[in-house]
Amino acid sequence: MSFIVAIDGPAGTGKGTVTKILAKKFKLLNIDTGATYRCVTLEMLNKGVKLEELDKIKEILENIKIEIENTKEGQKVFLNGEDVTEKIRSKEVTELVSQVSSIKEVRFKMVDLQRKMAEGKNVIMEGRDIGTYVFPSADVKIYLDADLEERAKRRFLQNREKGIDINYVDVLENIKQRDENDRCKEIGALKLAKDAEVIDSTQISINQVVREISQIIINKKEEIKLEKKIYKVRKETTWKRFLRNIIKGTLAVVYKIAFQVKINGKVPSEGSYILCCNHINYLDAAAIVLFNKRKVNFVAKEDLFKNRLLFWLGHIFDAIPIKRDMQDIEAMKRCLKVLKNGELLGIFPEGTRKGLEKNGKAKNGAAFMAIKSKAKVIPIGIHGSFKPFSKVYVNYGEPIDLSNYSKEELDEATEKIMQEIVILTKKED
């Protein structure tokens, strides 16, 4: 799986310099997407093609070959085999490139090319629309900004260093115009992705910007590593089963000392069922897992697995981590696999503790899985104060068959499950 860092922002914010340093530091392929638009512009200038000559531009796009190579001396850009690294930074190209990049056909072709360049690789890509359009699911999104005058000053000094003859006022004017054009494009406009980190470099040095982004990249890599660990499916072994039984027995004794557990009803000894329960306390799932002869694979929010002990228990009891703020396809697949294997799946349709009390809308996940797998739902009503030595009632209901519901009736199916659960939470005998 590839790792993608998107660095977006207006001209002159130091994106190029920062990207180059970060690419080296984190061994990422550096793709300067602006260079691809500059190549098209250069080719148009070489062939004397004007902005309004769309047919000729399309012809150029059909035959153009753009390659970006990361060498020891830096990034090299090739246009139809020729090294144009310097030529694409000329005043003529710079003045025209923003308008060229606004042409819909040019954008589609370049975005396609940029995505292909990144395919299967770990990359850092700088541009205007990377985090919003080219790679909206990039792992890290940075929006680099700086005051207009500061950006113009930087670009002016950069040009002077490269021997490009353009005065400060012209640079300022060009950046101003490009800003406006880049922000108002029909497709791929420069805008802030909602999940991007904004860094304003007006008052801080390049090294500081690099440090800040480096920390964001390191944190993200650690998060991905942890997520991989959490989501790793661990095989059932004799040792694991043995350990589970010992822990289950021990915790069940402790639980019974702490609370007077009253269990009504039970789960069939065979077959796949979805155990749906109300959620009033962190300890309610334990009452279902510990006092069931069969293993219950409980779905639990991913965050819990960040705790070492819970991570380990989760592994022993084959709990299924789930991301609550999005459709977690990976978790869904694991749930369906559990049901396919004829096992028990435990789930809190409320999605959060005391969801019923808070009048929250129950989640449709359990109903979806019941309809998809044809497994029956066993409603469970738990109630009790969970104060030491108090009574905890665990009331199992009759299995509910939802096979005659369609996927369009998820709300109705969820409602049915919830109604049964509510009735069961009131039972006290």
| CB closer to ligand DC, 106 vs 335 | 106
Looking up tokens 């109903």 gives 367
Is 247 buried (19+), middle (13-18) or exposed (0-12) by CB count in 10 A?
middle
Our finding on whether 182 is near ligand DC (CB under 6 A) is yes
Our finding on whether 373 is near ligand DC (CB under 6 A) is no
CA angle 415, 420, 423 (to 5 degrees): 125
Helix axis angle, 148-162 to 168-183, nearest 10°: 120
Q: Residue 331's closest CA among 343, 319, 340, 314?
A: 319
| CB closer to ligand DC, 34 vs 321 | 34
Query: Cα torsion at 72, 76, 78, 81 (round to 10°)?
Result: -30
Nearest distance in Å: CB 40, ligand DC: 9
Among 6, 42, 106, 129, binds ligand DC (CB under 6 A): 129
Binding mask 186-225 for ligand DC (x = CB under 6 A): --x-------------------------------------
Nearest distance in Å: CB 148, ligand DC: 14
Q: Considering CB under 6 A, how many residues would be counted as binding ligand DC?
A: 15
CA distance 237 to 239: 5
Would you give the DSSP letter of residue 294?
S
Our finding on whether 384 is near ligand DC (CB under 6 A) is no
Nearest distance in Å: CB 239, ligand DC: 53
Q: Looking at 81-128, which runs of residues are DSSP E strands?
A: 82-83, 123-127
Q: Looking at 13-160, which runs of residues are DSSP E strands?
A: 29-32, 66-71, 74-79, 82-83, 123-127, 140-145
Q: Where are the alpha helices (DSSP H) in 259-340?
A: 284-290, 308-316, 329-340
Among 13, 31, 37, 424, binds ligand DC (CB under 6 A): 37
| CB closer to ligand DC, 97 vs 118 | 97
Our finding on whether 159 is near ligand DC (CB under 6 A) is no
Nearest distance in Å: CB 10, ligand DC: 8
Report 71-100 residues binding ligand DC (CB under 6 A): 97-98
Nearest distance in Å: CB 136, ligand DC: 13
Our finding on whether 393 is near ligand DC (CB under 6 A) is no
Binding mask 161-180 for ligand DC (x = CB under 6 A): -----------------x--
| CB closer to ligand DC, 91 vs 306 | 91
Q: Where are the alpha helices (DSSP H) in 232-299?
A: 238-258, 284-290
CA distance 138 to 123: 10
Binding mask 258-287 for ligand DC (x = CB under 6 A): ------------------------------
- Check: CB of residue 61 under 8 Å from CB of residue 109: yes
Q: What is the 3-state secondary structure (H, E, C) of 219-245?
A: HHHHHHHHHHHHHCCCCCCHHHHHHHH
Please identify, among the stretches 34-42, 223-231, 292-300, 316-324, the one whose residues bind ligand DC according to the rule CB under 6 A: 34-42
Among 19, 20, 34, 213, binds ligand DC (CB under 6 A): 34
Our finding on whether 33 is near ligand DC (CB under 6 A) is yes
**The tokens of 327 are what?**
């459709």
Nearest distance in Å: CB 198, ligand DC: 17
CA distance 178 to 242: 67
Distances (CA, A) of 56 to 40, 61, 63: 12, 9, 11
**The tokens of 130 are what?**
């990377």
Among 127, 346, 355, 379, binds ligand DC (CB under 6 A): 127
Our finding on whether 20 is near ligand DC (CB under 6 A) is no
Among 6, 11, 288, 417, binds ligand DC (CB under 6 A): 11
- Check: CB of residue 378 under 8 Å from CB of residue 276: yes
Nearest distance in Å: CB 129, ligand DC: 5
Residue 276: strand pairing partners:
347, 379
Our finding on whether 43 is near ligand DC (CB under 6 A) is no
Nearest distance in Å: CB 142, ligand DC: 14
Q: Which chain residues interact with ligand DC by CB under 6 A?
A: 11, 33-34, 37-38, 97-98, 101, 127-130, 178, 182, 188
